[in-house]
Amino acid sequence: MGKTDDPVLKVEGLGIDFGGLTAVNDFSLTVYPNEIRGLIGPNGAGKTTVFNMLTKVYDPSRGTIIFDGKDTSGMTEVEINRAGIARTFQNIRLFSGMTVLDNVRAGMNGVITYGNLSAVLRLPSFRKQEKEIRERSVELLEIFGLKDDMDLLAGNLPYGAQRRLEMARAMATGPKLLLLDEPAAGMNPQETEELMDMVRSIRDRFDISILLIEHDMQLVMGICEKITVLNYGMVLSEGTPSEIQNDPQVIKAYLGD
């Protein structure tokens, strides 16, 4: 958690325009190893757009993203994930026609070394690796409380479980940085409570950094070491939960004037 470590993520001057609309401008952010960072802001502030730029769903118009010491410009969505950034989506995007187990196993494709021919012929190399993948997937499902549902179709899971499955799938890719877009949306208070424990425990267990967007202030203030506030596509404020809670600018942005 020490600030002396090299940052995992260093974003500077990031911006994007959609036609005439500047959705995000001059966004900077530094995330350190093992940190849980919050990204908050009113609706339409540009939070999801930041995630989309970090994961290359959108190509930024300006600015640099240094991840794990490497400039990510020119990388594709796939390369970004292989480099170590995984995410969840605000509007859940599961593979709804696949089972819960297969959703997680799909996240482990990056480690597969067997070829299609070994798969078709069921060679020992295939069997051995598939066994490992299955074991690791079941382990992840257990952590996210989904083990009993692993044979269900993902689309048939209740809402809260779908959000957890998205996290499990993202974790299956073995990321260094996990981006969570409103993980508690649609969850009841008890589920939210459990989610907070889950987020902390995966951070500790897998030694990763987490950047999370959330409207639930209790959650954000409860688990984030530091919070960045976005308003109209620009960074409004940055600081510890208590600093943010007492920042008059933030209060004004949220309550409106």
Ligand X SMILES: Nc1ncnc2c1ncn2[C@@H]1O[C@H](COP(=O)(O)OP(=O)(O)OP(=O)(O)O)[C@@H](O)[C@H]1O
Question: Which residues lie near another protein (CB under 8 A)?
Answer: 55, 57, 76-78, 81-82, 86-87, 89, 93-98, 102-103, 105-110, 112, 114, 116, 119-122, 126, 130, 133, 151-153, 156, 169-170, 172-173
DSSP state letter for 6: P
Q: Which of residues 87-116 bind ligand X (CB under 6 A)?
A: 90
Residue 114: CB minimum distance to Mg ion, A: 38
Q: Pick between residue 18 and residue 155 the one whose CB is nearest to ligand X.
A: 18
**Rounded Cα gap, residues 249 and 254, in angstroms:** 9
Q: Letter for the amino acid at 23?
A: A
Q: Binding residue for ligand X (CB under 6 A) from 9, 35, 37, 48?
A: 48
Q: How far apart are CA 143 and CA 37, in angstroms?
A: 22
Helix and strand counts by DSSP (H, E) for the chain: 10, 10
The 11-30 site mask, x for binding ligand X (CB under 6 A), equals -------x--x-x-------
Q: How far is CA 113 from the centre of its chain?
A: 26
CB 153 within 8 A of CB 96: yes
Residues in region 72-91 near Mg ion by CB under 5 A: 90
Binding residues among 174-193 for Mg ion as defined by CB under 5 A: none
Tell which one of 48, 81, 103, 162 touches Mg ion (CB under 5 A).
48
For another protein, give the closer residue by CB, 95 or 254: 95
Residue 203's Cα: distance from chain center in Å?
Answer: 12
Distance of CA 184 to the CA centre of its chain: 13
47 binds ligand X (CB under 6 A): yes
Distance of CA 232 to the CA centre of its chain: 22
CB 7 within 8 A of CB 32: yes
Q: What is the binding site for Mg ion (CB under 5 A)?
A: 48, 90
Q: What is the binding site for ligand X (CB under 6 A)?
A: 18, 21, 23, 41, 43-49, 90
